[in-house]
């Protein structure tokens, strides 16, 4: 069966080389009984690959079960997987078969295998090596014929070094590893996926399918997609339901992009396509740039403060420092003094803790303008979140303590 037929059968959209390579590997290994480890970020579709392997194998007519190892409490996962005898623990009023017993001849998909407790890992290793298991509370060894497909979004090799995952189990599971690419690694597939999702939701909600113009599509492509295909599908559904216009531009699409993940948005390429003499920045883009300036100023002030304190401890005076390296904070009353310090040859040197006065009019004007923008952006964030400081601080990308200090500094009324 060729790759395109597989894509059609399992509703896989995309032509990225990394995706095609993963599909080819899944098809080749499906006809064997080898253990497979599927690696990829959350939301890339790892479970789809497990279904592909099962449905193309000789076990396709036997049971398939998916188990999320991270969703089962540590105290009951052994019972879920391997079963238990009556009276094995409190609440065990009857004997119970586990998944490895009920799915005989089929396939078991262990999702988030990195969350499996170490004791359960030892039991699983025995199943993989000998095909044997023991119910909780029993001494009778039982046989099972189950193919194991595991998946993880963690670095299991790093987990083995930290003692969180058995090294022997890692190498036993990764007989054939399949790496499912993230959406960031297959950006050429984003337009195809969005159009497919938009068409599906239009049919589901009996409405006209939304379409993105070039600027909006560029915004999607530049976004980081840390939630991968699942996140793209969610945003496509939101746009399909909530968008008034069926032709959506970048400015209309921006509110649907999660603001707390702006780190994943490549701002400059998107803005360069929008800005120019005849096409000024929108309010949203201007706010984003203000946020970047806000962060830049904060980092610069922190660095200046650090250098200032280090130089003071080393015995260098403020007068010996360049103007540009002076911190812009206002010292407390206790530190506003002039202290004589000997720096050698009994020569007194005056260390001043007074706020440094800048003589250049251009620097003062530029600093004031940036401060005004900083104050304006803080006011916007507080207004947006109804004076909830924690939410406003998260929006600005600073700590709540720093926000409190800025509110006092700028005398902002909440």
Go through the domains of the chain in sequence order and give each one's CATH number: 3-181 (3.40.50.300), 187-280 (1.10.8.60), 287-352 (no CATH), 361-410 (1.10.10)
User: Residues near 76 by Cβ (< 8 Å), separated by ≥ 6?
Assistant: none
Model's pTM, two decimal places?
Answer: 0.62
pLDDT tens-digit readout, 353-369? 444 444 444 443 444 45
Better-scored residue on pLDDT, 93 or 189: 189
The residue count of the chain comes to 414
For the CA atoms of 215, 217, 219, 221, what is the dihedral angle to 10 degrees? -140
| Lowest-pLDDT choice from 53-62, 201-210, 301-310 | 301-310
How far apart CA 42 and CA 32 sit, in angstroms, is 27
pLDDT tens-digit readout, 268-289? 344 434 444 444 444 445 555 5
User: Which tokens sit at 145?
Assistant: 């014929």
Mean pLDDT of 171-180: 94
């Amino acid at each position: 069966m060729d790759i395109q037929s597989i894509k059609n059968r399992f509703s896989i959209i995309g032509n990225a080389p990394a995706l095609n390579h993963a599909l080819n590997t899944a098809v080749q290994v499906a006809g064997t009984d080898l253990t497979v480890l599927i690696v990829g970020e959350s939301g890339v579709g790892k479970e789809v690959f497990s279904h592909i392997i099962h449905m193309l194998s000789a076990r396709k007519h036997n049971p398939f079960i998916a188990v999320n190892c991270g969703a089962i409490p540590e105290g009951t996962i052994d019972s879920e997987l391997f079963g238990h005898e009556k009276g094995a623990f409190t609440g065990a009023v009857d004997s119970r078969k586990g998944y490895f017993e009920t799915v005989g001849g089929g396939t078991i998909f262990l999702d988030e295998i990195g969350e499996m407790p170490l004791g359960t890992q030892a039991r699983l290793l025995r199943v993989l090596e000998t095909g044997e298991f023991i119910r909780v509370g029993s001494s009778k060894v039982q046989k099972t014929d189950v193919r194991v497909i595991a998946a993880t979004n963690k670095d299991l090799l790093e987990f083995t070094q930290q003692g969180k995952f058995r090294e022997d189990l890692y190498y036993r599971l990764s007989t054939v590893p399949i790496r499912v690419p993230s959406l960031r690694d297959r950006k050429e597939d984003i337009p195809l996926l969005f159009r497919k999702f938009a068409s599906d939701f239009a049919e589901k909600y009996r409405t006209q399918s939304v379409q993105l113009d070039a600027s909006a599509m560029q915004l999607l492509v530049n976004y980081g997609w840390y939630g991968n295909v699942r996140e793209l599908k969610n945003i496509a559904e939101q746009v399909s339901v909530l968008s008034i216009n069926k032709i959506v531009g970048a400015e209309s699409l921006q509110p649907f992009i999660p603001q707390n993940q702006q780190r994943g948005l490549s701002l400059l390429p998107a803005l360069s396509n929008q800005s120019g003499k005849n096409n000024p920045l929108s309010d949203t883009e201007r706010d984003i740039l203000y946020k970047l300036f806000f962060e830049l100023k904060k980092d610069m002030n922190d660095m200046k403060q650090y250098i200032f304190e280090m130089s003071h401890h080393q015995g260098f005076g403020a007068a010996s420092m360049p103007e540009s390296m002076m911190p812009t904070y206002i010292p407390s009353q206790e530190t506003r003094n002039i202290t004589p310090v000997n720096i050698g040859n009994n020569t007194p040197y005056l260390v001043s803790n007074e706020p440094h006065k800048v003589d250049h009019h251009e620097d003062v004007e530029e600093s004031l303008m940036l401060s005004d923008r900083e104050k304006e952006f803080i006011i916007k964030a507080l207004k947006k979140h109804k004076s909830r400081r924690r939410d406003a601080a998260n929006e600005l990308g600073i700590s709540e303590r720093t926000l409190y200090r800025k509110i006092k500094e700028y005398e902002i009324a909440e």
